[in-house]
Amino acid sequence: MGQTRADRTRAAADALMSSYDPYNGWWPSSWWNSAATLTALIDSSRATGRHDYDWVIARTFDQNKGIFAAGVRSSDAIEGDFISRSIDDSGWWAIAWIDAYDYTGDSRYLNEAVTIADYVQQYWDPGTCGGGVWWDRERTYKNAVTNGQYLWLTTALHQRIPGDTVWLQRAKTSAAWYRSSGMINSSGLVNDGLTSACANNGSTVWSYNQGLAIGGFTELWRTTGDGSLLTTARTLADAAISSPTLTSGGVLTESCDVGSASCDDNQKQFKGIFMRNFADLAKATGSGTYQSYVQKQADTLWARDRSSLNALGERWAGTSPNQTDWRTQAGALEALTAAAG
8 Å CB contact between 281 and 290: yes
Closest-CA residue to 102 (of 92, 93, 110):
110
Task: Give the pLDDT of residue 160.
Answer: 98
Task: Give the pLDDT of residue 3.
Answer: 85
* Amino acid (one-letter) located at 101: Y
Whole-number Å distance between alpha carbons of 294 and 60: 29
8 Å CB contact between 109 and 101: yes
| Nearby residues of 139 by Cβ (< 8 Å), 6 or more positions away | 123, 125, 128
In CATH, 5-340 is 1.10.10.60 = no
**Angle at 205 (CA atoms; ends 150, 329), nearest 5 degrees:** 80
69-96 per-position pLDDT tens digit: 999 999 999 999 999 999 999 999 999 9
Segments in the chain below pLDDT 70 = 1-2
| Nearby residues of 104 by Cβ (< 8 Å), 6 or more positions away | 54, 57
Q: Taking each helix axis from N to C terminus, what angle separates 87-104 and 55-64, rounded to the nearest 10 degrees?
A: 140
Annotated domain spans of the chain: 5-340
Task: Give the pLDDT of residue 227.
Answer: 98
CA distance to 136, 259, 318, per residue, from 322 (Å): 32, 10, 7
Instruction: Report the DSSP beta bridge partners of residue 78.
Output: 68
Closest-CA residue to 253 (of 188, 200, 319, 185):
319
Q: Phi and psi at residue 36, in whole multiples of 5°?
A: -65, -30
28-74 per-position pLDDT tens digit: 999 999 999 999 999 999 999 999 999 999 999 999 999 999 999 99
- Dihedral (Cα; 159, 160, 162, 164), 10-degree rounding: -60
Task: Give the pLDDT of residue 2.
Answer: 67
